[in-house]
């Protein structure tokens, strides 16, 4: 198995030169590179080595508690002692106060090194954001410092056996009594619902406080320990047996009169929960990118060394010299590079805070494209390696298994595509995206982007005219992703010399542009045909 190599140069190139992180006041490129290098060394030396063994061993349910794979507890303690949990937490509560762009660097590296462990630790920044936005001063004081120190890990408890994406069907109920709020019910698919790494767990639970549909949902803080110091009424009834992410305990939880406290306003739980979910969706996009980058590193390294067949001169040739293998390698690289630039653009726009409408549009597009890019890249990587790609030894089969969930959780990709053609196209978010593409065409003086924009506008008008545009959702999402990629790859071509390997950037971006334009036309024709 090829050891994990952190793609830090690609990440910093994307942030600084493609996504425009320099325009964000809180971003310091030199500091970002320094911290990124520290985390890259940590990821390569300590986090990644436990990925394969954690996958093989998995998690265990022992006497009602989750036991993590061997070595994960010590690794988490090292992670906490180095201060990584509090990277973006406010300094007033014990954190380092760095912005979301710094988290974009470390999050991708963490996911590429060990997605399972990143899943268990990755909800802390979103929980802190939720507390900062909706929590009382007392709640912030009590809950944020232990999250920032690593003493506490967070979960997001939303899904129930009868309620996945349809939140109106949630039945887990919170009732207020003389001794405060109590929660009763069941939640499923809870990442890190229990583990033996952190001293405490803080569950953020969406529960029903009235029967008024989604307006009857409220958000609660439910600590693993009650006011009397004993374990709260939250128990693990099972760990799901999954296709991948074996070292991430996906738990079914039972709440039995569990003590809880309301965060935010009663009946406004969905708005509070979406603060955490929006962070999670950006994180999931980078998980997809991390898997695509890992697939490229493994496949490109193997193809550069594996001698197979003969070249044009009649002599022995490595795999990378064959046209079809080269095509696949360029596509894998483009999936990682394009997806990363897309996710970074969304993060930069979000952090800048000046164009929330564009953020609203970019977030689902990035989530869909990047997560599908992860599985597509892993699939292509396996094909490059041939029979060896199908073996556990080369790790790509684990990459595929781990990446596959990203297109499902945090909103299945089909739901995001449907939201794009229904709610977003009828909102200022679509106008913000159109303005962005127009600006790209003008700033880059690129007639092909102008032509592509006209194609997108025509398809948009066709979709808007339908009484039910849902059947067009997938193709319109594809079209939208491709025009965004065209803008970003054109940027890469302009700034390629800022990368340590400019020829690789130019070649990959150039091929992506060449192949992307016909794909746009095909998606537009499918929309016209469906109409």
DSSP-derived secondary structure letter, 268:
-
CB 382 within 8 A of CB 400: yes
Other CB atoms closer than 10 Å to residue 241's CB: what's the count?
Answer: 8
Gap between the Cα atoms of 107 and 289, Å rounded? 11
Three-state DSSP state, 204 = strand
Gap between the Cα atoms of 4 and 293, Å rounded? 10
Residue linked to tokens 């493609």: 18
CB 267 within 8 A of CB 216: yes
Q: What angle, 0 to 180 degrees and rounded to 10, lies between the N-to-C axes of helices 323-352 and 473-495?
A: 90
List alpha helices for 306-355, DSSP H: 323-352
Gap between the Cα atoms of 459 and 480, Å rounded? 10
Q: Which residue is catalytic, options 360, 410, 440, 482?
A: 410
CB 43 within 8 A of CB 290: no
Which residues are CB-contacts of 115 (< 8 A; sequence separation ≥ 6)?
51, 245, 248, 287, 290, 291, 402, 403
Gap between the Cα atoms of 105 and 366, Å rounded? 16
Three-state DSSP state, 157 = strand
Which residues are CB-contacts of 60 (< 8 A; sequence separation ≥ 6)?
66, 67, 239
Backbone angles phi, psi at 446, to 5 degrees: -115, 105
Token pair for 144: 């944020």
CB 85 within 8 A of CB 154: no
Q: Is 410 annotated in the active site?
A: yes
Catalytic residues: 410
């Amino acid at each position: 198995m090829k050891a994990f190599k952190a793609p830090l140069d690609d990440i910093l190139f994307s942030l600084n030169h493609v996504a425009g992180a320099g325009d964000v006041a809180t971003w310091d490129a030199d500091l970002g590179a320094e911290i990124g290098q520290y985390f890259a060394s940590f990821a390569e030396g300590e986090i990644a080595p436990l990925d394969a063994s954690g996958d093989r061993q998995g998690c265990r349910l022992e006497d009602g508690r989750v036991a993590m794979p061997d070595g994960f507890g010590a690794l988490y303690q090292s992670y906490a002692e180095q201060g990584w949990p509090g990277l973006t937490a406010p300094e007033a509560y014990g954190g380092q106060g760095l912005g979301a762009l710094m988290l974009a660097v470390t999050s991708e590296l963490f996911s590429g090194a060990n997605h399972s462990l990143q899943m268990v630790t990755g909800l802390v920044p979103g929980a802190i954001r939720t507390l900062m936005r909706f929590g009382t001063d007392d709640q912030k004081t009590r809950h944020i410092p232990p999250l920032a120190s690593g003493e506490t890990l967070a979960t997001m408890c939303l899904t129930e056996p009868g309620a996945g994406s349809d939140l109106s069907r949630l039945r887990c109920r919170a009732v207020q009594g003389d001794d405060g709020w109590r929660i009763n019910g069941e939640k499923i698919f809870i990442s890190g619902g229990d583990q033996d790494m952190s001293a405490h767990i803080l569950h953020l639970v969406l529960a029903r406080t009235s029967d008024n549909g989604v307006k009857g949902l409220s958000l609660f803080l439910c600590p693993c320990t009650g006011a009397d110091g004993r374990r709260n009424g939250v128990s693990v009834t099972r760990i799901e047996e999954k296709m991948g992410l074996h070292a991430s305990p996906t738990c079914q939880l039972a709440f039995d009169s569990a003590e809880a406290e309301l965060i935010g306003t009663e009946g406004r739980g969905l708005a509070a929960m979406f603060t955490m979910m929006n962070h999670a969706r950006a994180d999931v996009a980078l998980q997809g990118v991390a898997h695509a980058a890992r697939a490229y590193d493994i496949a490109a390294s193997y193809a550069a060394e594996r001698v197979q067949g003969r070249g044009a001169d009649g002599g022995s040739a490595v795999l990378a010299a064959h046209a079809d293998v080269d095509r696949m390698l360029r596509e894998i690289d483009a999936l990682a590079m394009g997806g990363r630039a897309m996710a970074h653009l969304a993060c930069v726009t979000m952090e800048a805070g000046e164009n929330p409408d564009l953020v609203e549009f970019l977030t689902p597009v990035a989530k869909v494209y990047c997560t599908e890019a992860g599985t597509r890249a892993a699939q292509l990587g396996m094909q490059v390696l041939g029979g060896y790609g199908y073996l556990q030894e080369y790790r790509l089969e684990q990459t595929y298994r781990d990446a596959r969930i990203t297109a499902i959780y945090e909103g299945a990709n089909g739901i995001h595509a449907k939201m794009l053609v229904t709610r977003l196209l009828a909102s200022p978010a679509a106008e913000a995206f159109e303005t962005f593409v127009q600006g790209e065409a003008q700033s880059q003086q690129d007639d092909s982007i102008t032509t592509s924009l006209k194609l997108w506008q025509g398809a948009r008008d066709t979709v808007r005219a339908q009484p039910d545009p849902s059947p067009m959702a997938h193709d319109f999402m594809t079209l939208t992703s491709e025009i965004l990629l065209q803008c970003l790859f054109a940027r890469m071509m302009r700034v390629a010399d800022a990368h340590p390997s400019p020829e690789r950037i130019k070649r990959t971006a150039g091929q992506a542009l060449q192949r992307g334009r016909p794909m746009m036309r095909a998606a537009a024709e499918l929309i016209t045909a469906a109409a």
